[in-house]
C-alpha cells in the first residue's frame, strides 16, 4: 500500500499552486529516473495530494477554445478574475471561492498505468462523497466529471470538473468540486466547452439548499480517496 502525503494549502493564487505542484511533479519524475533500475513500488515514492481554494480564475486546457471565454481582458480585470492557458486536458473551467480543487501528484507506476481508470477513480471519489449527502452523482458517457440528473433524467448539472495531465505516468492537475461556489462565474464561459441546452453547472450548496461545511466535505473526499486508490494519507503541514 502506497503512502500519499496530504497537504491542505488553504487559499492560494493559481500561479503559486501551479508552480508548487509542478515542482513536486518534477521531484517525483527525478526520483523515478534515479531509481529506474528498481521495480516501481519497491522504493518509497513521494506521492502527494493537495487540496486548495483559488481566488477567481479561468483556466483553459490545451484542447480548449479561447472562444469559450466570453469576457475581454478588461472585463476580467474589472471582476478580479485571472486567466491561465495550461497543459491539462479539457477545455475552459472556473476555479474560485467555495470550490475544493484537488491536485493528486501520483506516480501511477506504483498504482496502475491506466489513464481511463485514473479519471474514473477520481469520479468515484466524488460520487461516494456526494452519496454521503444523499445525492446521486452520475457519469455521462460522452464527458468526464460528475453530474447530477433531474428527476426525468433529461437534464444534467455538473458538480465536479476533471482535467489531468500525465508525464512519465506521474499526474498533474486534477479536479474542481463545487461546494459553496458562486455559480455566476460560469455565466462568463462555456464551461468545459459544453453548450448543450440540457447541461448546466451546480454546487453542493445549491443542491442542498444551504451552504456546506467545507472541512467536512474535504474529510469525506480524503477518506474516499484513500479507499479508492488503496493508499494511506499522511497529513503534513
Domain limits, the chain: 2-235
Class of domain 2-235: alpha beta
Active-site residue, 192 included = yes
Active-site option among 110, 160, 192, 231: 192
B/e letters for 32-71, b = 16+ CB within 10 Å, e = fewer, are beeeeeeebeeeebebbbbbbbbebbbbbbeebeeebbeb
Q: How many Cβ atoms from other residues are within 10 Å of residue 116's Cβ?
A: 8
Whole-angstrom Cα distance, residue 73 to residue 14? 17
Whole-angstrom Cα distance, residue 25 to residue 133? 33
Give the three cell numbers for residue 79. Answer: 471582476
Q: What is the pLDDT along the chain (237 residues), one digit of tens a residue?
A: 899 999 999 999 999 999 999 999 999 999 999 998 998 888 899 999 999 999 999 998 887 889 999 999 999 999 999 999 888 877 899 999 999 999 999 999 999 999 999 999 999 999 999 999 999 999 998 889 999 999 888 999 999 999 999 999 999 999 999 999 999 999 998 887 888 889 999 999 999 999 999 999 999 999 999 999 999 999 997
Q: Is 161 exposed, middle or buried (0-12, 13-18, 19+ CB in 10 A)?
A: buried
pLDDT digits (tens, 9 = 90+) for 166-205: 999 999 999 999 999 999 999 998 887 888 889 999 999 9
pLDDT at residue 87, as a whole number: 80
pTM over 0.85: yes
* Residue 83 three-state SS: strand
Amino acid at each position: 500500500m502506497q503512502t500519499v502525503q496530504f497537504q491542505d494549502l488553504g487559499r492560494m493564487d493559481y500561479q503559486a499552486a501551479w508552480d508548487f505542484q509542478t515542482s513536486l511533479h518534477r521531484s517525483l519524475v527525478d526520483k523515478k529516473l534515479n531509481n529506474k533500475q528498481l521495480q516501481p513500488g519497491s522504493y518509497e515514492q513521494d506521492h502527494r495530494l493537495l487540496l486548495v481554494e483559488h481566488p477567481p480564475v479561468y483556466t483553459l486546457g490545451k484542447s480548449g477554445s479561447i472562444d469559450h471565454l466570453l469576457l475581454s481582458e478588461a472585463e476580467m480585470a474589472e471582476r478580479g478574475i485571472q486567466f491561465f492557458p495550461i497543459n491539462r486536458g479539457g477545455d475552459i473551467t472556473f476555479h474560485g471561492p467555495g470550490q475544493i480543487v484537488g491536485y493528486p501528484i501520483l506516480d501511477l507506476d506504483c498504482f496502475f498505468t491506466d489513464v481511463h481508470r485514473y479519471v474514473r477513480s477520481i469520479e468515484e471519489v466524488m460520487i461516494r462523497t456526494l452519496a454521503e449527502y444523499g445525492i446521486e452523482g452520475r457519469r455521462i458517457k460522452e464527458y468526464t466529471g460528475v453530474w447530477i440528473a433531474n428527476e426525468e433524467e433529461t437534464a444534467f448539472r455538473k458538480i465536479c470538473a476533471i482535467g489531468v495531465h500525465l508525464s512519465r505516468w506521474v499526474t498533474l492537475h486534477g479536479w474542481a468540486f463545487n461546494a459553496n461556489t458562486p455559480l455566476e462565474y460560469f455565466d462568463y464561459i462555456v464551461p468545459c466547452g459544453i453548450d448543450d441546452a440540457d447541461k448546466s453547472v451546480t454546487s453542493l450548496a445549491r443542491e442542498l439548499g444551504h451552504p456546506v461545511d467545507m472541512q467536512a466535505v474535504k474529510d469525506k473526499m480524503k477518506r474516499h480517496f484513500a479507499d479508492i486508490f488503496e493508499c494511506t494519507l499522511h497529513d503534513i503541514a
